[in-house]
Amino acid sequence: MNSIKILAIAIIVAGILGLTYGGFSYTKNTSAVKLGPLELNVKEKETVNVPLWAGVGAIVVGGLMLAGAGRKV
């Protein structure tokens, strides 16, 4: 299995996960205040939404790459 096929399968899986979950979230640590030896940290929860068109597009592009990798020129 060559690298193009592996990349195409990874893109298809990412598209399916994007459609299934619709996004992901992560926690960002920021330093709010530094006053001498005291430091105040804030944890912010950020959410990233994956658009529907991006998930479908990833599946289509991955499928086209997979089909193109099977052809011999």
pLDDT over 70, % of the chain: 96
Closest to 2 in 3D by CA, of 68, 57, 64: 68
In the prediction, which pLDDT does 23 show?
Answer: 87
pLDDT band at 33; cut points 50, 70, 90: confident
For residues 5 and 59, the answer to whether their CB atoms sit within 8 Å is no
pLDDT: is 7 or 35 the higher one?
A: 7
pLDDT at 69 over 90: no
Pairing of strands 23-35, 38-49: antiparallel
